[in-house]
Structure 1
Amino acid sequence: MSKDIRIKKGLDIKLVGEAEKATENAIISNFYSVRPEDFHSIIPKLVAKEGTRVKAGETLFYNKDFEAMKFVSPVSGEITEIQRGPRRRIDAIKITADKEQSHLDHGKFDLSADADKIKAHLLASGCWAFIKQRPYDVVANPESTPKGIFISGYASAPLAADLDYTLRGKEEELQTAVTALSKLTSGGVHISVGKGTNSPLAGLENATTYTVSGPHPSGNVGTLINKVDPINKGEVVWTVNAQDLVIIGELLLTGKFNAERVIAFGGSSVKKPRYFKTKIGAEVSTMIYDNGVDKDGNDRIISGNVLTGKQVAPDGHLDYYNNVITVIPEGDDYEFFGWNKPIFNKISTSRAFTFSWLNPKKKYELNTNTNGEHRAFVVTGSYEQVFPLDIYPMQILKACMYKDLDEMEALGMYEVAPEDFALTEFICVSKQPHQKIIREGLDLMLKEIG
């Protein structure tokens, strides 16, 4: 099999505000938050109560359906609030951090151990949360054996963190994590890197490296899975984010859960885009208002990239999996007869009234306006232009909407995740919420089929 993967279908969205390759330490956050909703499908069972003092890496809650699966605190400090929603659902666990951090020592791990011991160690230390599975795009089931583990080391999303930069100097941790993970699969570990880049992930032992090129979503792990080893009914693969490998590797080497993150902070509303070193669950305000974002500006703060991230409040917290914070203008203004005149400042795959195709390298300052209203699906054939998977995007979306499980299976639902439909949602003339539709379809399959 060729180790080169070239994607032709897709769309590069070039935006103003790419982070400069310079890293600063973010202001140390006083408060951290862990939200169980970040771990989709997990029913949390609380261990730590309000007023309890915890160390970094100490258990906050575990999975009610699999008690050995622990979820741990990113910092040491005192649990000051348990936020609850309807029916006493746990919405967030807030921790007031200590000035001097202390870590729970899980002990240095012997990498010659067998798969069962590695699995038990990752479950007990909280690192299992970083391993997700397909089908269903949820935290991996420890009782299953994946046919492969997939890691994308190339970020092609707009304003995404440059993984070649953020992973620099972490080769030992990366190799340790990959060596351990390789024992958990009946197949192999598959890693993608960008063509012409100098990735720290390239050339790791106990893994197969693929060079990918082409427009977004060439960097999505779903694209790698589809081109290397597509998922059929009854099969399971696991995925891990590249930066999370560093946390897993450091835990195995030192016994400490170090929740450090290098965050790309960018967007057209940021005066000085750059990288920050912070921790999982930190307050986003520690990176925003003291660093060039207008407090009185009409902007949207996004934890994640502009296609798949979610809006957070100025006093919100960094999600468990994201390594990007994007700030762009809020799109709550409207153009008079905007649909009936030439458009030069927006991106479109259509050549009707738009001219972005004339200058493919131009960077745009886009806002959050959807430029249209929600309506029924319009068959234009545009989805297929930006969707590189061997799947019919419109048909699978419709199958999810009318909840036909047999058709969802036949169309390849086991293989996809919401992020795979971010581009089709972006170009959708019907303004349908594609990622939400796919997420609800996956949840239905998980409930009915398991």
Structure 2
Amino acid sequence: MSKDIRIKKGLDIKLVGIAEKTTTTSSLSSVYAIKPEDFHGITPKLVAKEGTEVKAGETLFYSKSDERILFPSPVAGKVTEVVRGARRKILAIKITADSKQTYADFGKKDASKMSAEEVKNHLFSSGCWPFIKQRPFDVVANPNQAPKSIFVSAYASAPLAADLDYTLVGKETELQTAITAISKLTEGKVHVSVGKESNSPLANLSGVEIHKVSGPHPSGNVGTQIANIDPINKGEVVWIVTPQDLVIIGELLLTGKFNAERTVALTGSQFSTPQYVKAIAGASIDSLTKGNLKNDNTRIISGNVLSGTQVKEDGFLGYYDNQITAIPEGDDYEFFGWNKPVFNKISTSRALTFSWLNPKKKYDLNTNTNGEHRAFVVTGSYEDVFPLDIYPMQLLKAFMYKDLDEMEALGGYEVAPEDFALTEFICVSKQPHQKIIREGLDLMREELG
């Protein structure tokens, strides 16, 4: 039985530069990089040292806390550099790709005949376990704690987000195979959310409960869907897998190969031709954007504008990302900007702002914060864009002064940094909400487990 979810609180940020539904295949990047920081909470132990030859799918490093959790190379090639930071912290492992790709063979599997333990061990050995994340804490899933349910969000509502209905076309077999396998890892249900008006390849999967979602962003956030379908209480765990990662798991089971290729949306006003491109996780940004990027004062983001990570042209695509956004850099100063009517920006306030008069207008926004960091101003505006049944201001303050009892009581187990991306966007105090939530969740995980 499906359950429709209609979100009323939120904000759709309509930007210039949505990707056209044409897909090109990027040339094989000369260098790929896997960054341990993409796997929050993981302390890496290096396996492949500089000079090591690896096949696609062979282990680069593993988690210090659980040696079963392996992190594979996305391509075949040679490990040419291990980038280290302070205290020799591993920042990135760079692999120079071979011209001809070879893959480690993990063997074809029949998902319908595998036991839960066999599925888990296969995901461990192939390096696919990191594709399963968990709530609470928004980290790679702890395999020692069974989830009460598993969630897949096939509805992307973030600004300029990749159209999953388009990128997943033709991948129905891989998706069904992956769902058949991971459904054995929980005694609960596998919940799949699709757009109410969409024609999603996931809508006809068997063994899942389908939910049709509508409403403004963050209706596509998996945290919003969990809160409406199966809220998390203390001591409970929910696992999350993205549709593009399900395809990789499904292909692994069908072919025995770890193929980290995904369809990436190039979005934003600073792309000459916003479009889709097939790329492998960890690809260099310049190989994906070459000849298509306006280099005049541009901010490049791996991910979406609200919760993505800033990268340079010589940087690399995030391990979980299926979107690269390029928008103007907001490093200019607007004289008396606080005292003039605003027609070219989005605002939830009606004080000298007029975006509410034309809700379908698309904007070419830059990264300017339009103000400076200051103490919290209580305006009540956070609640207008925050659909969870939580007091966002009170939770943010509890996270800031590190009161664990209050953090628990106010709903700390239910949230992830991306759930506070919109409140950060509209914050008149310019507080770093996502950073506050991330640090608070790390403290809860350390102190409360």
- Which residue of structure 2 aligns with residue 286 of structure 1? 287
- Which residue of structure 1 aligns with residue 37 of structure 2? 37
**Aligned partners of 1:2 and 1:440: how far apart in 2?**
36
Q: Deviations over 1:265-294 (max 9, x none)?
A: 010111110000010000010122312x22
**Aligned partners of 1:156 and 1:331: how far apart in 2?**
24
Gapped regions of structure 2 (runs ≥ 5) = none
- Which residue of structure 1 aligns with residue 299 of structure 2? 300
Q: Deviations over 1:95-126 (max 9, x none)?
A: 00000000000001132111011001101101
Q: Deviations over 1:173-207 (max 9, x none)?
A: 00011111110012010010001110001021111
**Aligned partners of 2:3 and 2:170: how far apart in 1?**
25
Is 1:243 the equivalent of 2:251? no
Is 1:68 the equivalent of 2:68? yes
**Aligned partners of 2:383 and 2:27: how far apart in 1?**
44
2:317 maps to amino acid? L
- Which residue of structure 2 aligns with residue 118 of structure 1? 119
**Aligned partners of 2:179 and 2:370: how far apart in 1?**
44
Q: How much has 1:2 moved relative to structure 2?
A: 5.7
- Which residue of structure 2 aligns with residue 152 of structure 1? 153
Q: How much has 1:51 moved relative to structure 2?
A: 0.4
**Aligned partners of 1:434 and 1:310: how far apart in 2?**
15
Whether the aligned pair in 1 keeps the contact of 2:307 and 2:418 (CA below 8 Å) is: yes
Whether the aligned pair in 1 keeps the contact of 2:2 and 2:209 (CA below 8 Å) is: no
Is 1:10 the equivalent of 2:10? yes
Gapped regions of structure 1 (runs ≥ 5) = none
Whether the aligned pair in 1 keeps the contact of 2:46 and 2:60 (CA below 8 Å) is: yes
- Which residue of structure 2 aligns with residue 180 of structure 1? 181
Whether the aligned pair in 1 keeps the contact of 2:160 and 2:268 (CA below 8 Å) is: yes
**Aligned partners of 2:284 and 2:389: how far apart in 1?**
40
Q: Secondary structure at the match of 2:436?
A: helix
- Which residue of structure 1 aligns with residue 404 of structure 2? 405
**Aligned partners of 1:420 and 1:109: how far apart in 2?**
37
**Aligned partners of 1:113 and 1:242: how far apart in 2?**
21
1:338 maps to amino acid? G
1:397 maps to amino acid? L
- Which residue of structure 2 aligns with residue 215 of structure 1? 216
1:266 maps to amino acid? T
Alignment of 1:160-199 (within 5 A): 160-199=161-200
**Aligned partners of 2:243 and 2:227: how far apart in 1?**
18
- Which residue of structure 2 aligns with residue 102 of structure 1? 102
Greater shift in the superposed pair: 1-10 or 165-174: 1-10
Q: Secondary structure at the match of 2:398?
A: helix
- Which residue of structure 2 aligns with residue 25 of structure 1? 25
Q: Secondary structure at the match of 2:212?
A: strand
Whether the aligned pair in 1 keeps the contact of 2:331 and 2:368 (CA below 8 Å) is: yes
Q: Deviations over 1:330-356 (max 9, x none)?
A: 000011111101000000000001000
**Aligned partners of 1:257 and 1:146: how far apart in 2?**
25
Q: How much has 1:69 moved relative to structure 2?
A: 1.0
**Aligned partners of 1:148 and 1:237: how far apart in 2?**
5
**Aligned partners of 1:284 and 1:149: how far apart in 2?**
32
- Which residue of structure 2 aligns with residue 201 of structure 1? 202
**Aligned partners of 2:419 and 2:251: how far apart in 1?**
30
- Which residue of structure 2 aligns with residue 419 of structure 1? 418
**Aligned partners of 1:294 and 1:113: how far apart in 2?**
50
**Aligned partners of 1:253 and 1:288: how far apart in 2?**
32
Q: Deviations over 1:196-228 (max 9, x none)?
A: 110001021111000000000000000110000
2:81 maps to amino acid? E
Is 1:357 the equivalent of 2:326? no
Aligned structure 1 segments of 4 or more residues deviating by more than 2 angstroms? none
1:74 maps to amino acid? P
1:427 maps to amino acid? I
Give the direction of change, closer, same or farther, for the CA distance of 1:2–1:166 in structure 2 (3 Å limit).
closer
Q: How many residues align?
A: 448
- Which residue of structure 1 aligns with residue 253 of structure 2? 252
Q: Secondary structure at the match of 2:234?
A: coil
1:23 maps to amino acid? T
- Which residue of structure 2 aligns with residue 439 of structure 1? 438
Q: Secondary structure at the match of 1:332?
A: coil
1:143 maps to amino acid? N
Q: Deviations over 1:374-430 (max 9, x none)?
A: 000011000000000011100000000000000000011101100000000000000
Is 1:374 the equivalent of 2:344? no
- Which residue of structure 1 aligns with residue 129 of structure 2? 128
Q: How much has 1:3 moved relative to structure 2?
A: 1.4
**Aligned partners of 2:332 and 2:372: how far apart in 1?**
14
**Aligned partners of 1:445 and 1:7: how far apart in 2?**
28
**Aligned partners of 1:156 and 1:141: how far apart in 2?**
28
**Aligned partners of 2:294 and 2:217: how far apart in 1?**
30
Q: Secondary structure at the match of 2:244?
A: helix
Whether the aligned pair in 1 keeps the contact of 2:372 and 2:430 (CA below 8 Å) is: yes
RMSD: 0.8
- Which residue of structure 1 aligns with residue 389 of structure 2? 390
Q: Secondary structure at the match of 2:96?
A: strand
Q: Secondary structure at the match of 1:191?
A: strand
Q: Deviations over 1:63-91 (max 9, x none)?
A: 11111111100000000001111111111
**Aligned partners of 1:119 and 1:400: how far apart in 2?**
34
**Aligned partners of 1:369 and 1:169: how far apart in 2?**
40
Q: Secondary structure at the match of 1:66?
A: coil
Whether the aligned pair in 1 keeps the contact of 2:15 and 2:365 (CA below 8 Å) is: yes
2:68 maps to amino acid? A
Is 1:335 the equivalent of 2:373? no
Q: TM-score, normalised by structure 1?
A: 0.99
1:282 maps to amino acid? A
**Aligned partners of 2:272 and 2:350: how far apart in 1?**
32
**Aligned partners of 1:320 and 1:391: how far apart in 2?**
30
Q: Secondary structure at the match of 1:68?
A: coil
